[in-house]
Amino acid sequence: MLRLENIKIYEDLTEDDVLKIACKKYKINYKDVEEYSIFKKSIDARNKNNIFYNYTIDVGIKGNLKFKNIKEVQKENFELNINLKRKSPKRPVIIGAGPSGLFCALILVQNGIKPIVIEQGKRVEDRKKDVDEFLKSGKLNVNSNVQFGEGGAGTFSDGKLTTGVNNPLCRKVLYEFVNFEAPKQIMYVNKPHIGTDNLIKVISNMRNYIIKQGAEFYFEEKVIDFEVEDNKLISIITNKRKLETDTAVFAIGHSARDTFGKLYEKGIKMEKKNFSVGVRIEHKQEMINKSQYGTKTKLKLPPAEYKLAYHGENRSCYTFCMCPGGTVIASSSADGEIVTNGMSTYARDGQNANSAVLVNVTPNDFKGNSPLEGMYFQKELEEKAFKLGGENFYAPVQKVGDFLQNKKTTSIGSVKPTYKPGVTLANLQEILPNYITNTFKDGILEFDKKIKGFADKDSILTGLETRSSSPVRILRNEDFISNVKGIYPCGEGAGYAGGIMTAAIDGIKCAIKILEKE
C-alpha cells in the first residue's frame, strides 16, 4: 500500500473525489488504484481564514508500479500474535461488562476460551430504559443506571475514543467497534466518537457475538465474595451462585464501591491515587463554533470541540470529556448522591456544548490512611451536592458570573441548563473546598483568554463531577495479577485506564496475559 499524506481539501467532497485529488497530487493514475482506505482525516483550523481538511489515504496500485518519494506501508492486520499456553479446564470469570470486561471476553472467545461474564446491571437495552426513567422522574435503580450496567459508564457519555496513549491496540479497538456496526469513520477521524445512540446497538452486537462463541453472561447478578486457598483463587460467589474458577478479571469500573470494600477486606493490596473533581460547564455550541472556526469557512464542519488546561501554583485545572451539542446527564449510582457527566448522540446536534472542568486532588487531601479514603472523599462531596440540590436528584447549578462573585444564582440567563430531572439554583462554593474553588476560578479566567466567552456570566455550572477516574489503584504485577494468584485487576476501576479506549486496551492486554499463562 502507498500512503498519500497531507492531502488538503477546501470543500466538502465525497471520498472518491478526495482520492482523485490525492492521485493528482502524487501523479498516480486514478484508474490504476485497485483499493483505498482513508487512514486519517483531521480539521486544520489554525488559520480561521483558511480552514481545510487534511487527509491521509492508503492506496493499492495495479501491478508492480514504483513511485519515488511515496511511503510504502503494510496493509493493516488486526490479528493479535498470541502465544496460547492456557491449559486450565476452569472457565475464567469476568466481573463487569464495561469496555475492559467486554474486550477481555472478546479476545478470550476469539482464542477458544469461553468465559463467564457477571454484570450487576442490566443488558444495555434494558439499562437505557432505567436511565430514561431516572431522567424523567428521578426514580433511581441503584443497580442499573449511568454507572452500572452493560457497556459501563462510557455508554452514556458520547462514546469518545480519543486518548493520549500511542498504542497499536488502539487500531484493534476501533476495528472491532466497526465490526460491530460502529460508524466506519471512527477508523480515521482525528477525534473519533461513536455516540451514545450508536453505542447501545454496538454493545448489544458485541455481546451477542461473544455469546455465540460460547461465553455466558449473567446480568443483574452481583459478586459479593470470593474464596482463596494457599493464596490462590478457587471460587467467585455472587448473590445467586458459586462459581469455581482459578481466574477472575475484576473489570469493575470506577464506581463499584461495595466491591472495592470487599477486595480491601479480603486483603487485596490497593492504594489511594490522584483523581480530579469539579463541575460541568455549559455554553452555547454556536459560541464554541465561532471561537474555534471563525465565521468565514464554507465547510460543513462538525460541532467544534476544545481541550484546555491551566497549571496553577499548586494545582491544575483542565477540561475533560467535552461533549459538543450534548447534555449534562444525571449519573448517580446511589441514593443521596448527585453525580454528573456529559453525553452526546452521534449527531451532536444539541444547542449546548458541555465539558467537565476539573481540579486535581491527591491523597494528601484525604483525611485517613485507608486506601479507600479517596472514595469516601468523593462520597462526601456527592452527598453535599444532593442536599444543596434539594434532596430529590435535582442538581445544584450556578451561573459562571455568580460563581466568580461567590453569590447564589437567582435566575437563569441565555444558557439553559440541560440536566434532568431538574436543577436547583445555588452557590456551588458552599460545597467545594477552597483549594478547588480558587484553582477553578483562575482556570476559568485563563480559559476565557483562549476561548472568548468561556467565562461568560450566563454560562452554566452544574455540580458535581466526581467520577472522572477511579479513586483507588488495585495493585498488580507485570502479569496483571494481584497479590492473590488468579485475581486480575483490570480497567478503569482498578486504576489502569481513563476512558473507553484505554479501558478496552487494558481488557485486551489482560486477556493476552490469561491466554499466555500456562
Give the E-state strand segments of 344-459 in sequence order: 352-361, 395-399, 423-425
Residue 46's pLDDT is what?
95
Distance (Å) of CA 386 to CA 148, 261, 293, 413: 19, 23, 38, 23
Report the 10 Å Cβ neighbour count for 71: 12
Give the span between the Cα atoms of 279 and 317, in whole angstroms. Answer: 11
Residue 68's pLDDT is what?
81
Residue 63's pLDDT is what?
80
Q: At what angle do helices 196-212 and 99-110 cross, to 10 degrees?
A: 30
Q: Quick: pLDDT tens for 1-43.
A: 999 999 999 999 999 999 999 999 999 999 999 999 999 999 9
Q: For residues 176 and 105, is the Cβ–Cβ distance under 8 A?
A: no
Beta bridge partner(s), residue 44: 52
Parallel/antiparallel/unpaired status of strands 472-474 and 270-272: antiparallel
Q: For residues 489 and 250, is the Cβ–Cβ distance under 8 A?
A: yes
At 159, the pLDDT band (50, 70, 90 cuts) reads confident
Give phi and psi for 286, each to the nearest 5.
-60, -40
Give the span between the Cα atoms of 363 and 470, in whole angstroms. Answer: 13
Written as one letter, the residue type at 221 is E
pLDDT of 67 strictly over 90: no
Q: Mean pLDDT in the chain?
A: 96
Contacts of 16 (CB under 8 A, 6+ apart): none
Q: Quick: pLDDT tens for 74-122.
A: 988 999 999 999 999 999 999 999 999 999 999 999 999 999 999 999 9
Average pLDDT over residues 322-329: 97
Written as one letter, the residue type at 259 is T
CATH number of 2-72: 3.30.70.2700
Q: For residues 473 and 349, is the Cβ–Cβ distance under 8 A?
A: no
pLDDT of 65 strictly over 80: no
**Is 93-271+471-516 the same fold as 2-72?**
no
Residue 259's pLDDT is what?
97
- Looking at the chain, the whole-number percentage of residues with pLDDT higher than 90 is 94
At 157, the pLDDT band (50, 70, 90 cuts) reads confident
Give the span between the Cα atoms of 191 and 214, in whole angstroms. Answer: 34
Residue 243's pLDDT is what?
98
Q: For residues 343 and 196, is the Cβ–Cβ distance under 8 A?
A: yes
Average pLDDT over residues 480-491: 98
Q: For residues 54 and 5, is the Cβ–Cβ distance under 8 A?
A: no
Q: Quick: pLDDT tens for 235-292.
A: 999 999 999 999 999 999 999 999 999 999 999 999 999 999 999 999 999 999 999 9
Shortest CA distance to 428 belongs to which of 210, 281, 297?
281
Residue 518's pLDDT is what?
87
Average pLDDT over residues 219-235: 98
User: Per-residue DSSP letters for 129-189?
Assistant: HHHHHHHHH----TTSSSSSSTT-GGGGTT-B---S---THHHHHHHHHHHTT--GGGGTB
Residue 382's pLDDT is what?
98
Average pLDDT over residues 310-327: 95
Average pLDDT over residues 175-193: 96
Residue 272's pLDDT is what?
96
Query: Which cell is 40 given?
Result: 486519517
**CATH 3.50.50.60 for domain 93-271+471-516:** yes
Shortest CA distance to 371 belongs to which of 471, 460, 288, 454?
471
Residue 176's pLDDT is what?
98
Query: Where do the domains of the chain lie?
Result: 2-72, 93-271+471-516, 274-465
Q: How many CA atoms lie within 13 A of 459 on its CB side?
A: 29
Residue 166's pLDDT is what?
85
Q: For residues 206 and 109, is the Cβ–Cβ distance under 8 A?
A: no
Q: At what angle do helices 373-389 and 257-265 cross, to 10 degrees?
A: 150
Q: For residues 291 and 324, is the Cβ–Cβ distance under 8 A?
A: no
